[in-house]
Amino acid sequence: MNAVDHVAAIPAQAASTTPLLELRAVSKRFVKPIDAAARIANLFGARAHAEVVHAVDRVDLSIRAGEVVGLVGESGCGKSTLGRMAVGLHTLTEGERLWHGVDLDRLQPDQRRAKQLAIQMIFQDPYASLNPRLRVLDIIGEAPVVHGMVPRAGQRAYVEELLSRVGMDPTVLRRFPHQFSGGQRARIGIARALAVKPEFLVCDESVAALDVSIQAQVLNLFMRLREELNLTYLFISHDLGVVKHISDRVMIMYLGRVVESAPTGDVFSAPNHPYTQALLAEAPKLEAGKKTYVAIRGEIPSPLDPPSGCHFHPRCPHAMPRCRTEQPILREIAPGRLSACHLNDMG
Amino acid sequence: MTTTNATLVVEHLRTQFATRAGVAKAVDDVSFTVGRGEIMGLVGESGSGKSITGYSIMGLVDPPGRVVDGRILLTSRDGVTRDLRALTPAQMRDVRGNRIAMIFQDPMMTLNPVLRIDTQMIEAITAHERIGRAAARERARDALARVGIPSPDERLRAYPHQFSGGMRQRVAIAIALLNKPDLIIADEPTTALDVTIQGQILYEMQTLCRESGTALIWITHDLSVVAGLADTLRVMYAGRIVEAGDVRQLLEHPAHPYTHGLIASAPSRNPRGTPLRQIPGMTPSLLNLPAGCAFRERCPHAAEDCRTAPALTQMADGRRLRCFHPMPLHEESAA
């Protein structure tokens, strides 16, 4: 892909009905195999077995060009794993990953690499995701030169242009990451992702480490870039306020499964799944007056040993016997709205 | 809250860090009062001096940092008032963990990873009191139960790594409560926790303070956490308190442009999908503060007179404010 048709290609995409990125029933399992000691113990009758974490369990995700999808959930729910699978940083245990309708994992490596560039990730920690020994010029400018998008002679001008695009002074090229504040580092991380002209960005908690006033600046930058470059985002966050503000559609995950997926307005005005309702009720609100906190019961169970049936049933105020045995299916409850809860069958 | 039954009175506290590049005034002339059972939110961004204020009260500022001036008066339930800065290290050790307790953002700062929970909790009790081991264990068990840890008898025998993040923070809170302190200083204790767990902990802290009359200073960068929890707010910027008052007053009618900017930049205060109102620029370095009002370079109201530092003045509605050009109140009700 070259610089010119990056923008020019957008209308054609929007017109087609093929989603930009589609994940079909993807799963990710992390297996810790039994070691030698456990194998010997098994010879003597111990019942050691491999530990399997179902980080992501048959999740479907389809994102249209220009859309911003918010992915919400608590720690350990698999949202970051799903994000990394979308980018290709994790291989899929099961399922397919389609980019413009093409299965990326069936392509030849060199073809896949070329397509893969259009999907980039912005990481959570602006302190850990930049190489401390590289100058800004190399952090941002290395990839486009390596991939032949920009000649080495043009690298400097190209990086300067990117820096101004993310609202930074282009004269800082020679500096190292430690010479910047958290907000500036976040901007450098964004510029680095933009350097290879992506169409799709996965933002994993990209504003979580920033101060309140800086967070607003970076969120505004994300919204401005979306318009200027016609970007598509998968915006992963635990912060409901941020997700509500920036997303068109929200997906809520719990222990590796999607429990609800709907347009943002619907989720926040009328959450369907009891877990979504609990999340919204617990989120701190900027309203004065003593709030009496109603504690939601229990903790997030270990993904090593998730509860049977509906994963949420031990904490759910509406749990029925059926929830313990049968896994609810994510199905359409209204046009564009999906929820996985047995309560929706009760009419 | 009147000063007569105040648990903590801080007057003109100054803490400075001597660095090679100059003296950083991390806490600069900070004064406030916390009454019995009062929950005070101490709000500010990173580098505002909110945590150093907490450490200064606890006497935990390490060199090159030093508390250079001010008085910290703690009045216990028994009516004894101590000036914490005048105490000897031994006397301070007796106050710390006993009359004042601190809860840190990372509970592993409080917990020793190689000791069982019961060892650590019993030690915290016997360090301050002549009490039998069995009685101390009993009290530790009750404290765990009070912060909502299931089967506390079993959990006492566990090691910190056997707990989840939320449970560890509960253990840290239980340790803080062991000796029924007069004051708890909580430094962002829920920042690393999930929303549903944060809700549980806020709920428990609220009840515990109400029941025991313990005063609480809740240090945070997130106004929405203290909005539903605190009675009063102190907003810090670059080492100084810029606005202080009742929670409702400050959240509904912020007078300082910085407080106003913080509240206005929250996504919930902006229509969905529109650009957020933002505070321009970034927090200045403490080594290189602008003369006069430290906020003036980011402030939409800044004028020539802001080059001299405004004093923290009592306003007609009871709040204290450090600003020559506060937000007009009618604009607030519209926003």
Which residue on chain A is closest to B223 by alpha carbon? A286
- Its pTM stands at 0.82
- Per-residue pLDDT, A6: 43
User: Domain boundary residue among A247, A282, A316?
Assistant: A247
Task: Provide the 10 A C-beta neighbour count for residue A110.
Answer: 7
Contacts of residue B221 in chain A, CB cutoff 8 Å? 211-212
B313-314, strands of its sheet edge to edge: B100-103, B183-187, B215-220, B39-43, B232-237, B240-246, B320-321, B313-314
Based on the fold, state whether residues A13 and A156 are members of the same structural domain: yes
A30 plus A179 within the same structural domain? yes
Domain ranges for chain B, please list them. Answer: 1-35+48-85+223-335
> Which residues make Cβ contacts (< 8 Å) with residue B142, sequence separation at least 6?
B152
A326-335: pLDDT as tens digits: 999 999 998 8
- Using one digit for the tens of pLDDT, what is the confidence trace for B244-301? 999 999 999 999 999 999 999 888 888 888 888 888 887 888 888 888 899 988 898 8
Based on DSSP, count helices (H) and strands (E) in chain B, helices before strands.
11, 12
Nearest Cα neighbor of B135 from B148, B127, B126 is B126
Within this chain, do residues A318 and A197 fall inside the same structural domain, yes or no? Answer: no
Nearest CA in chain A to B279: A213
Residue B257 tokens, joined: 């442009």
Judged by DSSP in three states, A314 sits in: helix
Is A224–B275 a contact, with Cβ atoms under 8 angstroms apart?
Answer: yes
B308 inside 8 A of chain A by CB: no
Rounded CA separation B145/B147 (Å)? 6
What pLDDT does A152 receive? 92
In a mutational test of the B interface, the residue from A213, A227, A243, A300 whose CB has the highest number of chain B CBs within 10 Å is A213
pLDDT at A346: 79
A293, B276: Cβ pair inside 8 Å? no
Nearest to B222 by CA among B241, B205, B235: B235
How close A130 gets to chain B, by Cα (Å)?
A: 20
Edge-to-edge strands, sheet with A21-32: A51-63, A21-32, A94-99, A102-103
Please give, rounded to a whole number of angstroms, the shortest distance from the CA of B64 to a CA of chain A.
22
Could you say which of 1.10.1740.10, 3.40.50.300, 1.10.260.40, 2.40.50.140 is the CATH number of the domain covering B1-35+48-85+223-335? 3.40.50.300
Residues of chain B contacting residue A214, judged by C-beta atoms under 8 Å apart: 45, 282
Whether residues A265 and B272 touch (CB distance < 8 A) is answered with yes
Question: Quick one: pLDDT at residue A13?
Answer: 41
B299 by Cβ neighbours in 10 Å (0-12 / 13-18 / 19+) ranks as buried
Tell me, yes or no, whether A130 and A173 share the same domain.
yes
Asked if B221 lies within 8 A of A212 by C-beta distance, the reply is: yes
**Any A CB within 8 A of B282 CB:** yes
Q: Supply the pLDDT for residue B88.
A: 92
In Å, what is the CA distance from A343 to each residue of A250, A251, A310, A319, B286?
A: 21, 19, 11, 9, 56
A181 with A323, same domain: the answer is no
Dihedral (CA of B232, B24, B190, A80) sign = positive
- Whether residue A169 lies inside any domain: the answer is yes
From A211, A264, A292, residue closest to B221, measured CB to CB: A211
**pLDDT per residue of chain B (335 residues) written in tens, 0 to 9:** 444 578 999 999 999 999 888 888 999 999 999 998 899 999 988 888 999 999 999 999 988 899 999 999 999 888 889 999 999 999 999 999 889 999 988 888 889 999 999 999 999 999 998 999 999 999 999 888 888 787 888 889 999 988 888 888 889 989 998 888 999 999 988 877 777 778 878 888 888 888 888 999 999 988 888 888 899 999 999 999 999 999 999 999 999 999 999 999 888 888 888 888 888 887 888 888 888 899 988 898 888 899 988 989 988 888 999 999 988 865 444 33
ipTM of the complex: 0.77
Domain match, A281 and A189 both = no
Within-domain flag for A119: yes
Contact A174, A136 (CB under 8 A): yes
Number of domains within chain A: 2
**pLDDT tens by residue, chain A, 347 residues:** 444 444 434 444 444 578 899 999 999 998 888 888 888 888 888 887 888 888 899 999 999 999 999 999 887 788 889 999 999 899 999 999 999 988 988 888 888 888 889 999 998 877 788 999 999 999 999 999 999 999 999 999 999 999 998 888 888 899 999 888 888 888 999 999 999 999 999 999 888 878 888 888 889 999 999 999 999 999 998 888 889 999 999 999 999 999 999 999 999 999 999 999 988 888 877 776 656 555 566 777 777 788 889 999 988 888 899 999 999 999 999 888 999 999 988 76
- B chain contacts of residue A288, beta-carbon cutoff 8 Å: 227, 247-252
Residue B259 confidence (pLDDT): 93
CATH of the domain at A59: 3.40.50.300
* Cβ–Cβ contact B225 with A under 8 A: yes
**In this structure, are A241 and A278 located in the same domain?**
no
One-letter amino acid at A178 equals H
Question: Would residue A252 count as lying in a domain?
Answer: no
Structural Rg of chain A based on CA atoms: 22
Domain co-membership, A154 together with A112: yes
| Interface mutation vs chain B, best among A211, A249, A253, A276, most B CBs within 10 Å | A211
Contact A323, A310 (CB under 8 A): yes
The reply to whether A216 falls in a domain is yes
Q: What is the pLDDT of residue A293?
A: 56
Is the Cβ of A245 closer than 8 Å to some Cβ of chain B?
A: yes
Q: Quick check: A284 contacting B, CB < 8 Å?
A: yes
List all residues of chain A from 139 to 198 with a beta carbon under 8 Å from chain B: 181-184
**Domain range for A320:** 273-347
Instruction: Establish if A264 belongs to a structural domain.
Output: no
Give A258 to chain B, closest Cα distance, Å: 18
Q: Which residues of B touch A291 (CB under 8 A)?
A: 227-229
A321 and A206 assigned to the same domain = no
What's the burial of B24, exposed, middle or buried (CB within 10 Å: 0-12/13-18/19+)? buried
Q: What's the CA gap between B229 and B216, in Å, rounded?
A: 10
Q: Which residues of chain A are within 8 Å of residue B229 when distances are taken between CB atoms?
A: 290-291
Question: B169: which 2 tokens?
Answer: 């923070």
**Would an 8 Å CB–CB cutoff place A74 in contact with chain B?**
yes
Does the beta carbon of B236 lie under 8 angstroms from any beta carbon of chain A? no
Shortest alpha-carbon distance between residue B227 and chain A (Å): 5
In a domain, A217, yes or no: yes
Residue A318 lies in a domain: yes
Q: In this predicted structure, what is the pLDDT of residue A295?
A: 54
Pair A105, A240 in one domain: yes
CA distance A264 to B281: 31
Instruction: Identify all chain A residues contacting B167, using CB atoms and an 8 Å cutoff.
Output: 299
Note whether A192 and A279 are same-domain residues.
no
A100 burial type by CB count under 10 A (0-12 exposed, 13-18 middle, 19+ buried)? middle
Tell me, yes or no, whether A212 and A299 share the same domain: no
Residue A36 located in a structural domain:
yes
